[in-house]
Structure 1
Amino acid sequence: MAALDWDDLRVALAVADAGSLAGAARALDVNHTTALRRLDALEARLNTRLFERQRGGYVPTEAGDLLAQEARAIAPRIDDIERRLLGRDLRLTGTLRLTTAFVTMVYLLPQALADFANTHPGIEVEVAESTALLDLSRRQADVALRLSRQVPEHWVGRTLGTAQYKVYVKRGASGLPQRKQPLAALLAKAPWIAFEREGAANRFGRWMQQHIPSEQVRLRVDMFNSMVMMLRTGLAVGVLPTFVAASEPDLMPISGAIDDLATPLWILTHPDLRRTARVQAFMKLVGDAVAKTLQNSS
Structure 2
Amino acid sequence: MDDLDWSDLRYALAIGNAGSLAGAARQLGVNHTTVLRRLDALEQHLNARLFERLRSGYQPTEAGTAVLEQARRMGDRADEIERLVLGRDRELTGLLRVTTAFVVMEHLLPKPLAAFARAYPQIEVEVVENAFLVDLSRRHADQAQNWAGLEADVALRLSASVAEHLVGRQLGMTHCRVYALRGAPDLPQGVVPLPELVRDVPWIAFERDAQARVYDRWMRSQLANANVRIRVDIFNAMAAMMHTGVGVGVLPTFMEPKHPQLVAVSDIIPELSVPVWMLTHPDLRRTARVRAFMQDVGDGVAQLLRAN
Question: Same fold by TM-score, threshold 0.5 exceeded?
Answer: yes
Give secondary structure in 2 for the equivalent of 1:201: coil
Aligned to 1:243: 254
Is 1:160 the counterpart of 2:171? The answer is: yes
Aligned to 1:146: 157
Contact 1:193 1:217 in 2 (8 A): yes
Aligned to 2:221: 210
Distance 1:232 1:144 in 2: 31
Is 1:15 the counterpart of 2:18? The answer is: yes
Contact 1:11 1:38 in 2 (8 A): no
Distance 1:121 1:51 in 2: 52
Aligned to 1:118: 118
Distance 1:107 1:45, change over 3 A: farther
Is 1:285 the counterpart of 2:288? The answer is: no
5 Å matches for 1:47-62? 48=40, 60=59, 62=61
Give 5+ residue unaligned stretches, structure 2. 41-49, 139-149
Q: 1:266 aligns with which of 252, 277, 284?
A: 277
Contact 1:171 1:251 in 2 (8 A): yes
Contact 1:136 1:270 in 2 (8 A): yes
Give secondary structure in 1 for the equivalent of 2:180: strand
Distance 1:117 1:221, change over 3 A: same
Distance 1:239 1:222 in 2: 12
Distance 1:197 1:51, change over 3 A: farther
Aligned to 2:75: 75
State the shift of 1:136 in Å. Answer: 1.0
Give secondary structure in 2 for the equivalent of 1:157: strand
Contact 1:160 1:288 in 2 (8 A): yes
Distance 2:132 2:180 in 1: 28
Give secondary structure in 1 for the equivalent of 2:18: helix
Deviation string for 1:28-84 (max 9, x for gaps)? xxxxx96362574761551559797978xx654549756643332222211111111
5 Å matches for 1:67-106? 68-106=68-106
Contact 1:43 1:50 in 2 (8 A): no
Distance 1:12 1:205 in 2: 38
Distance 1:6 1:99 in 2: 30
Distance 1:5 1:251 in 2: 59
Distance 1:42 1:252, change over 3 A: farther
Give secondary structure in 2 for the equivalent of 1:218: strand
Contact 2:11 2:35 in 1 (8 A): no
Aligned to 2:210: 199
Distance 1:69 1:150, change over 3 A: same
Aligned to 1:37: 29
Q: 1:233 aligns with which of 222, 241, 244?
A: 244
| Residues paired across the two proteins, number | 282
Larger Rg: 2
Percent identical pairs in the alignment equals 46
Distance 2:302 2:54 in 1: 48
Distance 1:59 1:10, change over 3 A: closer
